[in-house]
Amino acid sequence: MSLRRTRWWVLMVLVAASAVHAQTFRLYLAPDGNDAATGTSAATALKTLSAAHQRLLAQPPPATVEIVVAAGTYLRQSVRWTFRNGAPLRIVAAAGARTMPHFDGRGGGTWFTLRGGGNQRTQLQVVGLEVSDYWMAMDLGGSNAAADGNAGNTIRGMRFVRIGGVHGQGDPAYSYAAIRLQNSRDNVIADNQFSAIENSKDTSGYLHALYLARHSTGNTVEGNSFTDVNGDVVRTRDASDATLVRGNRFVRAGKYAAFSDWFDPQQGECPSQGGRFVDNTVGAGYYGAIPATATTGADDACGALGTPRIVERGTVRE
């Protein structure tokens, strides 16, 4: 490549990078922020995700949205998110932060609820935050697919600590999940840490670190660590097909299995199929020895399966 062509190529890369940067609308959060501020710079940061959400609803930008979260502790925050503009939405730790920004629920309900997805690609990306002491950390989607279905989300490099009915308050008293997906497709949940995901012993069977329900298909769970989870760690339900669980580590995690599928035929539900449990490291469960995978209910409840419900290979036991 000639020097002139090299210079031209470098210039085009810089121009493209500048264009991408210019097309991103940013809001900033800080523990000492002010929800009456503009929020458009670190010096004028907002304090809550709810305030950022209201700004976006009031004046929807046409571009990718990035909410930059400064290090520190954010107390008792909870947001029901309905904003979408067809572009990606990123909620990320500020670059160079020495510690993870920490959302501490102090025994509250749900930190982040996603609704109004319209069964479209919502492209939510949540990266590099710690969420602790909630009944549920994240709730993506609902039972009505047309209204709340969503897809194409990423949860990466997060830390979820002390989530569940033992650690937070919700309705019912027992929790269902640290992260619950309903009608939520093609998501990536990767490189996160989950610890102390707990209900009471009597209600531990209801709780999962990841609950993939109601046609939540094509999801990838990869490179996560799960420690002290007293329900089955990854649970699929009702035709939540093609779930890939790969390269994760399970320590004192799971009541009946690390990865299980369950459905309720009395509600017209069907077994999930095409689940893959690949190259995971599995220790004992929360209450003792457990198998790595398990399924409940008749495989042919909705007719012959096209593929097995769960295929397991490469499991390392420790």
d(C-alpha 137, C-alpha 284), whole Å: 25
Judge whether residue 221 has pLDDT over 60.
yes
Whose CA is closest to 179, among 199, 201, 160?
Answer: 160
Q: What is the pLDDT of residue 22?
A: 52
Please work out, in degrees rounded to the nearest 5, the angle formed at the alpha carbon of residue 21 by the alpha carbons of 17 and 22: 115
Q: State which H helix or E strand residue 145 sits in.
A: helix 145-148
Q: What residue segments make up the domains of the chain, in order of their start? A: 101-317
pLDDT tens digits for range 115-146: 999 999 999 999 999 999 999 999 999 999 99
Average pLDDT, the chain: 95
Judge whether residue 14 has pLDDT over 70.
no
Count Cα neighbours of 86 within 13 Å in the Cβ-side half-sphere: 3
Q: What is the pLDDT of residue 21?
A: 47
pLDDT tens digits for range 89-115: 999 999 998 999 999 999 999 999 999
Q: How would you classify the pairing of strands 220-222 and 244-246?
A: parallel
Contact by Cβ (8 Å): 223, 255? no
Contact by Cβ (8 Å): 122, 148? no
pLDDT tens digits for range 156-168: 999 999 999 999 9
Asked whether the whole model's pTM tops 0.85, one would answer yes
d(C-alpha 199, C-alpha 262), whole Å: 19
pLDDT tens digits for range 30-63: 999 999 999 999 999 999 999 999 999 999 999 9
Q: What is the pLDDT of residue 190?
A: 99
